[in-house]
Amino acid sequence: MYLPKRNRIITYDMRTIIVNRDWQDENQTLGVCYVKDEFGNIIFKSECIERGWRNNQSRVSCIPPGTYPVKLEYSPRFRKKLWEIYDVPGRSECKFHAANYARQLNGCIALGNNRKDIDNDGYYDVTSSRDTMKKFHEALQGFNLARLEVVDLHDN
């Protein structure tokens, strides 16, 4: 059982989401996202993109490395259910949602099939984000709660 700061009891289901970040600067963060089942088997894998590290500033920075509860909730802004990341220090409304570019994110995490410089700005983006998000939701189907582990593997 886990008691988040919002004083609601959340129990972790047996799915774990792992984000292994392998590159980061002040503009963007890149990594690989995995979903593991209750036996530790990888049942989903994708590329991921976030904003760069800007001292955890709301809406302009990626979230700090750590372990977080994640809950499937309806988002009025997106008009559908999205996985929301809870207990990010000083932050709220951090979600997993579709986006191809880091600039489309406000502290959230987007998933994609491949890394590619789509807009020729010198930065990698992620491709096929909507389709990848659909597969992410399928890997977590039947669950409303999960655990997210964000790990920085990069040296920069």
pTM of the full predicted structure?
Answer: 0.89
* pLDDT tens-place string over residues 137-149: 999 999 999 999 9
Q: Which CATH class is domain 16-152?
A: mainly beta
* pLDDT tens-place string over residues 42-58: 999 999 999 999 999 99
The amino acid present at 119, given as its one-letter code, is: D
